[in-house]
Amino acid sequence: GRIIHLTDYRPTDFVLERVDLTFELDPTETKCTSRMLFHRREGAAVDAPLVLDGDELKMTGLLFDGMPMEPGRFTEDNDTLTIRELPETAAFEITVDTVINPEANTQLMGLYRTNGIYCTQCEAEGFRRITYFYDRPDVLCVYTVNIIADKESCPLLLSNGNFLGGAGYGEGKHFAAWFDPHPKPSYLFALVAGDLGVVEDTFTTMSGREVALKIYVEHGKEPRAAYAMDALKRSMKWDEEVFSREYDLDIFMVVAVSDFNMGAMENKGLNVFNDKYVLADPETATDADYANIEAIIAHEYFHNWTGNRITCRDWFQLCLKEGLTVYRDHEFSADQRSRAVKRVAEVRHLKSEQFPEDAGPLAHPVRPTKYREINNFYTTTVYEKGAEVTRMIATILGRDLFKKGMDLYFERHDGDAATIEDFVKCFEDASGRDLGQFSLWYHQAGTPLVTVSSAFDQAKGTFTLALEQMVPPTPGQSAKEPMHIPLRFGLLLPDGSEATPASIDGVEVTGDVLHLTKRKQVATVTGLDARPVVTLNRDFSAPINLHFERTPADLAHIARHDRDLFARWQALNDLALPNLVEASRNARAGTAIAVNSLLSDTLIEIAADETLEPAFRAQILALPSEADIARELGSNNDPDAIRAGREAVLAFLASEGKALFATLFERHDGKGSFTPDAASAGRRALRNAALPFLAIADGQPARAAQAFADSDNMTDLSAALGVLAHRFPEAEETQAALETFRARFAENALVLDKWFAIQATIPGEGALGRVQQLMQSPHFNAANPNRVRALVGTFAFSNPTGFNRLDGEGYRFLASQILQIDPKNPQLAARILTSMRSWRSLEGVRAEHALNALRRIAAGEKLSADVADIVERMLN
C-alpha cells in the first residue's frame, strides 16, 4: 500500500450537499442505491474530475442527473471511480448502484451479517465497501436512508438520526426511512436490520426535551442490558453537568452484536457495540466487565460531541476525538467511582500497554504524520497517551480555564472537521498561555525520561531538586526537543504533614504544579526546617518515566503519608519494582533472593489499614506484573527468570502476611445480594487479591476450590477458577472446576471467552499445547473475533512464560495463526500480531526465534496491508 502523508491534505474538488441511500437487503445480494448532490468547490479547477473512493465494489449502474452516464466519462479501477466533464458551477446529481454480499464479508468492515443481523462498521474506511463515496472525515453532509427488507426476518430497520416513517413494501417486505439532520462524515453512517429484543427508557435533557433510549440485544438477553441503560443515563446527565453538552436527536440507540472488531462504534444516534460491552448480570459478568460497560457506553455517548458534532479533518487528527473522549470517559468513571483507584487502574494500563508501544518499533506520535493503513493507528498511543495529553492541558490551565477552553472549542468548531491545532488554539485563547512547547506532546513520540536528584542544606534550610529530561529516539525521530512536563509535587515532613516553603526558584510553579520546560533545571526551595521527602508526579500528572534515586525509607514514608492516594500506590510500586528486578536477576544467576523487609512491612501495613478503601488496598496487593518487570529491565529479558524471581517475592509475602490475607479473604466474603457498585466491587477485589497469596501459602488447592464452590457471582467464581488454574493446573480440583464452569456456561459465549482466557494464561511450557488443544474444542470459533482474542490474543499478550518459550514454538504458532486469520480478518490479525512489539528486548535465543517468525509472516503470500504494515515496522 501507498503511504499517506499529513502534508498531502487538501480539500475535495466538489462539495457534497446531501445523499439519499436506499438499501434492499439480502444476505448475499444487497442492492444499494446512492444519490448524491454535488457542486464544484469555489476555486477548484474547472476540469477537475470527481474522484470517489471504493473498495471491492460491484457497480451495476451509474447516472448523471438521472440519465445513464456515457461510458467515456467515467473510469473504475481497484479503489476509485473517476467521473469527468462535470458542470463548472451548477449542482448535479450522481446516482451509483452497487451490489454487496454481506454474508461473505468476514472483514467486518462495511455491511456484514452477524447471527442473522445486518450491521455496518464504517470507521475508518468501511463506507467505501458499500458504495463509491467521498469516504473521508472532512466531507460532511445530511443523509436520508431508506431500508427495504424481509418483514419476518428483519422486523427492525434502523439507521442514523430520526425515524421518518415506514410501511409495507410488496410481498413479505417492508421499508423504513430515516433522516439525520446533522451533517456527518461517512464513517459515522450506520444501518442495522434484523430481529432483536429491546430495552427502552427515556431521558429528559437539560432543556426539557424527552429523548427515547433504546438498547437492542438478542431476544432473551434484555435483562442483561439493564446496567448499560443505567450507565447511558448517567453518562447523559454527567455530560450536561460537567461539559454542558446536551443530546441533539429525538432518539438514541445502542445495538449489541457478537461479531465486532473493536469495543464499540459511535455512529450518530445509533451506536453499535461488541455485546461484551453491553451485556451484564451478576451471574455472568465480573466487576471489571461492569466497569468496562460503564466506561465504553460513556465513551461512545461522549463522542456525540467530541467526534460527531466536531469531527476530524483527516485521520491524522484521530486523537482529536479519541484522546479527548478517553479523557472524558476517564473523568466520568472517576466521578462515578473512586478517583484514586480509577487513576491507579489507568496508569497501570498506560504503563503496561502504551509505554511498551512507545518504546518499541511501533512507536508513533499521538498525532502521526504518515500512515500506510489507518486501521493500525487505533492505538493505545492515540487513545490513552492522547487522553493523558488532554489531562495535562487541564493540569497546566487549572479546572476553570480548561472548562473555558472546552466551551470555546464547542462554540467555535461545532459542525467543523477540525485539527489538533484548532483544539490547542482554543486553550491558548481561553487562557492566554502559550502552548507551543506543550504541543510537542502531540508530535514527539517516546516516553520522556525525567532524572531527578536532590540535596538538602540544613544550615541554610534550602533544598535543591535537579531535574533533567530526555526523550528517547523513536522510529523516524532521532533528535528530540525538550518538552513542557507538568509535575504535581509535594514536600512531606518527617511527621507526614506537608511543608510550605518560603520560595521556589529556578522552575515555574503554579499551585502544586512544577513546570519542567528545559533539558536541565534546578529548583531551589527555601525556608525549610527539616529535610523534606519529595513526592513527585502526583496523580501521574505527566506520562513519563521517572528516575529518582530515593531510599526505601523515603518511599515507605510517601506510601504511608501522602495525601494523594495515587502517590501512595506509586511509592509502594517504586519500592517493589527494584526488588522484583533484583529478584529476577538473582533467579537468572541462580543466587539467593531477598525481600526488603520495608517492602513487606509497608505492603502488609497498608493492606491491613481499615481506614483505606478496599479497592485501593487490592491495588496495593497487586504487585508489578512480569511484564512490568521486563519493561524495567529493558533488554536481554528472560521471561522464565522474571517469573521465578517474582514468584519468590510473592512466596515471601504470602508467608509474612498469611494471617492478614486469611482475615481479608474471610471478612470480605462476597456472599449476599450482589450489587455492581464500586464499593461492593472493591470488597470483592480485596478478597480476590488475598486469595492467590493464600493459595501460595497453603501450597494446595482446597481453599480456592472451596471459594469456587461457594461463589455466587462471576467476579468471585472466575477469580477462584483463575487461582486454581494458574496455581494448580494439574490438580483434580482444577480439572473439575474447569469442567463445571464449561458445562454451566456452554451456551454463553461471553462467559466461555473467560474460560478460554483463563486457560490461555496458565504459565509455563505447557501453555502452547493447551492452547492448541483448546482450538480443537467444539467451543472454539475462528470466525468470532472475541473468541480468537480470548484464546490466541490472550496467550500472546498475557502469558509471558507460555508464549516466549525458549524453543520459539510460541512465536511459530503465532505466525501460523496470523497467516490463517489475515485473509479473513486483517484487522484482527494485525492487532494480535502487535503482541510481538517488544521482541527486541528478549534475550538472544528467543529474539532470534521471534525474528524468524516475523520473517515468515513478512514472506506470506497476499498479506493484507494491515499485517504487512505492522510486520514491516516491527522488522525495521
Q: 391 is written with which cell numbers? A: 489531562
- Which of ligand HT7, Zn ion, none has residue 866 at its interface (CB below 5 to 8 Å by kind)? none
Q: Which residue has the cell 483434580?
A: 732
Residue among 239 and 322 whose Cβ is closer to Zn ion: 322
- Per-residue interface string for the shown chain with Zn ion, residues 666-705, x marking contact by CB under 5 A: ----------------------------------------
Report in angstroms how near the CB of residue 303 gets to Zn ion at its nearest.
6
Q: Which of 218, 275, 281, 322 binds ligand HT7 (CB under 6 A)?
A: 322
As a whole number of angstroms, the distance between CA 361 and CA 46 comes to 45
Residue among 486 and 785 whose Cβ is closer to ligand HT7: 785
Q: Looking only at residues 28 through 87 of this chain, which bind ligand HT7 when binding is defined by CB under 6 A?
A: none
SS3 of residue 97 by DSSP: strand
The verdict on 266 binding ligand HT7 (CB under 6 A) reads: yes
As a whole number of angstroms, the distance between CA 679 and CA 115 comes to 37
Report in angstroms how near the CB of residue 321 gets to ligand HT7 at its nearest.
7
Residue among 308 and 570 whose Cβ is closer to ligand HT7: 308
- Per-residue interface string for the shown chain with ligand HT7, residues 268-307, x marking contact by CB under 6 A: -------------------------------xx--x----
The verdict on 258 binding ligand HT7 (CB under 6 A) reads: no
125 is catalytic: no
As a whole number of angstroms, the distance between CA 128 and CA 105 comes to 13
- Which of ligand HT7, Zn ion, none has residue 537 at its interface (CB below 5 to 8 Å by kind)? none
Q: Which of 30, 33, 308, 375 binds ligand HT7 (CB under 6 A)?
A: 375
* Euclidean distance between the first and the last CA atom of the chain, given in angstroms as a whole number: 17
Residue among 121 and 381 whose Cβ is closer to ligand HT7: 121
Q: Looking only at residues 452 through 511 of this chain, which bind ligand HT7 when binding is defined by CB under 6 A?
A: none
As a whole number of angstroms, the distance between CA 388 and CA 400 comes to 18
As a whole number of angstroms, the distance between CA 213 and CA 228 comes to 11
The DSSP code sequence of 671-722 is -SS---SHHHHHHHHHHHHHHHHHHHHH-SSHHHHHHHHH--SHHHHHHHHH
Q: Are 803 and 847 in contact (CB under 8 A)?
A: no
Residue among 262 and 340 whose Cβ is closer to ligand HT7: 262
Crossing angle (nearest 10°) for helices 844-858 and 865-875: 150
Residue among 333 and 541 whose Cβ is closer to Zn ion: 333
- Which of Zn ion, ligand HT7, none has residue 262 at its interface (CB below 5 to 8 Å by kind)? ligand HT7
Q: Which of 139, 228, 262, 717 binds ligand HT7 (CB under 6 A)?
A: 262
As a whole number of angstroms, the distance between CA 589 and CA 642 comes to 11
Q: 100 is written with which cell numbers? A: 454487496
Cis peptide upstream of residue 124 (ω within 30 degrees of 0): yes
As a whole number of angstroms, the distance between CA 154 and CA 193 comes to 6
Residue from 238, 95, 93, 247 nearest 162 by CA: 247
Report in angstroms how near the CB of residue 403 gets to Zn ion at its nearest.
22
Residue among 281 and 329 whose Cβ is closer to Zn ion: 329
Q: Are 763 and 801 in contact (CB under 8 A)?
A: yes
Q: Are 15 and 41 in contact (CB under 8 A)?
A: yes
Catalytic residue among 218, 300, 373, 384: 300
β-partners of residue 547 are: 451
Q: List C-alpha distances in Å: 294 to 276, 384, 430, 749.
A: 12, 17, 31, 20
Crossing angle (nearest 10°) for helices 678-698 and 614-621: 40
The verdict on 123 binding ligand HT7 (CB under 6 A) reads: yes
Report in angstroms how near the CB of residue 838 gets to ligand HT7 at its nearest.
23
- Residue 710 phi, psi (nearest 5): -85, -15
Q: Looking only at residues 286 through 345 of this chain, which bind Zn ion when binding is defined by CB under 5 A?
A: 322, 325
Q: Looking only at residues 803 through 832 of this chain, which bind ligand HT7 when binding is defined by CB under 6 A?
A: 827
Q: Looking only at residues 493 through 552 of this chain, which bind Zn ion when binding is defined by CB under 5 A?
A: none
The verdict on 124 binding ligand HT7 (CB under 6 A) reads: yes
Q: Output the residue with the shortest Cβ distance to ligand HT7.
A: 262
Q: Which of 163, 378, 410, 548 binds ligand HT7 (CB under 6 A)?
A: 378
Catalytic residues: 300
Contacting positions for ligand HT7 (CB under 6 A): 121, 123-124, 261-262, 264-266, 299-300, 303, 322, 375, 378, 827
Contacting positions for Zn ion (CB under 5 A): 322, 325
